[in-house]
Structure 1
Amino acid sequence: MRLFYLILLAAAVAGGPAQAADLYMKYKLFAVGLPIGSGVMSVDFDDGSYSIDADGGTAAFGKLVSDGKGSVNVRGDISRGKLQPNKFALKVKSDDENGTVSMQMRKGTVKKVAVNPPQDRMNQRIKVTSDHLKNVLDPLTAAVFPAPKGLAPESCNRTLELFDGKERYNVHLSYKSKRQAKTSDGRFKGDVLVCRARYEPVSGHRPKRKTIQELAKNKSMEIWLAPVGDKPYLVPLRASIKAPFGSLVVKAEKYKLKG
């Protein structure tokens, strides 16, 4: 599910008022074509700063997905068009996991992390070193892609170095194609970039876990990136992955720009 965390936890049921954000998006999560969650993300840009908020929830889907809700928000600075997170906060409540994560960051370096409850099986996990906490983004900030060249192929070609408070991992993106797409509310209709995505675990994970191994080998992941009006950023309109039980898809159903 780490790919979908780039969007907003993996799904959501409620959020702030659409008119208050520079960009408001509502997503739905599908497993083998069946809706199992929905979500919202709002993005605000100010003079030299930004904020992103998301709330999420999923419905039980066999043994694969449990009932759960969560919220995540991040605040940070904008320097030469790049987003630099300062404060990140996550709260999750589900059948499998309850807890919070908070981080303080400065210029791409994690300064402080609080995880409650603490992670278990630390002796089985790859140690997160101080070097792993430099030049990183949180997963929510990573959902807003600086793209001064807009929908050019090079806007896809990048590596996202991410830390979510527990695990450090990379997402390698590469250009696949450009295509037309639209949201069901009709507010977005136009060209999007289709990027291949590949997950690479770095630290904080348990390397012997089958799910980690399978995700690292998976070559089916895609993210579709759409422009944010006339701003030099792109955001995910759709993300997908083929899993052993079938496909998982997150796609935007609503897209609203301020003004």
Structure 2
Amino acid sequence: MALAASLLVGIAPTHAADGVRLLYRVHVGGIAVLDASADVAVAPGRYTVTVQAATDGLIGRFAAWRTQSTVAGALAGTSATPESFRASSLWRGEPRSVRIDYGPGGVLSAVADPPADGVERDPVPADLQRGTLDPLSAVVATMLGVRSDGTCGRSLPVFDGRHRYDLSFVPFGGRTLERTRYSVFAGDTLHCRASYRSIAGQWKNRSSGWFRPSADDAERPPVDVFIAPVREGVPPVPVRVEMDSPFGSVVAHLVEVAGLPSPPAADGGGP
């Protein structure tokens, strides 16, 4: 689910103060269980992304989960270079957080709370953290590639503060999405399949559910992402995301596209 949530992000135009808010509803086995939003703002050479998600309805009562991730960084061509990444979540009352600050030469400083203790996960060695991207920046870089050459094929090294993996996107051609009552989008899309190869920091033992343990995560299903333009002047964004889970198919539908709210005007001190 975390991988699917991180894929709910696009990249907005490269003018000052441009941005877009994407709202998604996630269904599992045909039942709406999760609401997610992605706020993306881009200024010349800069980007910020905030993704939020929370369980909803009956599922939210019995399996309350919410998360927020934010990244800020620099853009150059089809490269996204993060400078700071923050993530927090609450699962059944248990808070978890990650802070990553990026320095020159791909060196970074990461603090996870609670930290990897060798029981749930082994810590990721510093040499495997170096030169990685956070999950949101990896998706931004992929969207920049789609805008540049119309394809999504690439593999990127990712470290989310606890887990080191390679995130790969493979183009699967085009697909036309029919109009339904679940989504605001209908039309032609670019179909990309996202998967990852675990490098370090895997769960050692996890009960059945979203995170079934596997020595090399070979059982973890790929994620199908359908990308298309949704607004004039805005490059393509994910309009639908699909994956399998132990509880049935997971489908994220784009339900709203809007501009970001304007920040409050500065107080000039006048009357």
Give the TM-score, by structure 2 length: 0.76
SS, match of residue 159 in structure 1: strand
Bigger Cα displacement from structure 2, 92-101 vs 68-77:
92-101
Contact between 1:60 and 1:66, CA under 8 Å: does it hold in 2? no
CA shift, 1:229, in A, is 5.2
In the alignment, what sits opposite 2:134?
138
Distance 1:176 1:87 in 2: 32
Larger radius of gyration: 2
SS, match of residue 132 in structure 2: coil
Summarize deviations over 1:205-228 as a string: whole Å, max 9, x none.
135657142952345531112247
Aligned positions of 1:32-43 closer than 5 A: 32-43=29-40
In the alignment, what sits opposite 2:249?
247
Q: How many residues align?
A: 244
Distance 1:224 1:257 in 2: 21
Contact between 1:124 and 1:206, CA under 8 Å: does it hold in 2? yes
In the alignment, what sits opposite 1:7?
7
In the alignment, what sits opposite 1:115?
112
Counterpart of 2:19 (choices 17, 22, 30) is 22
Contact between 1:188 and 1:255, CA under 8 Å: does it hold in 2? no
CA shift, 1:185, in A, is 9.3
Distance 2:133 2:26 in 1: 24
Contact between 1:150 and 1:232, CA under 8 Å: does it hold in 2? no
Question: Structure 1 residues 252, 69: closer, same or farther in 2, change over 3 A?
Answer: same
Bigger Cα displacement from structure 2, 66-75 vs 231-240:
231-240
CA shift, 1:240, in A, is 1.4
Question: Structure 1 residues 170, 138: closer, same or farther in 2, change over 3 A?
Answer: same
SS, match of residue 4 in structure 2: helix
* Alignment partner of 1:52 is 2:49: yes
Summarize deviations over 1:60-93 as a string: whole Å, max 9, x none.
7779x82122221110001223111100111111
For 1:109, the aligned partner's letter is G
Structure 2 portions without partners, runs of 5+: 10-16, 261-271
For 1:146, the aligned partner's letter is L
Distance 1:124 1:40 in 2: 29
Question: Structure 1 residues 44, 141: closer, same or farther in 2, change over 3 A?
Answer: same
Bigger Cα displacement from structure 2, 89-98 vs 106-115:
106-115
CA shift, 1:245, in A, is 2.7
Distance 2:168 2:38 in 1: 23
CA shift, 1:232, in A, is 8.7
* Alignment partner of 1:179 is 2:175: yes
CA shift, 1:55, in A, is 1.9
Q: State the identity as a percent.
A: 25
Question: Which protein has the bigger strand share?
Answer: 1
Question: Structure 1 residues 180, 70: closer, same or farther in 2, change over 3 A?
Answer: same
Contact between 1:146 and 1:232, CA under 8 Å: does it hold in 2? no
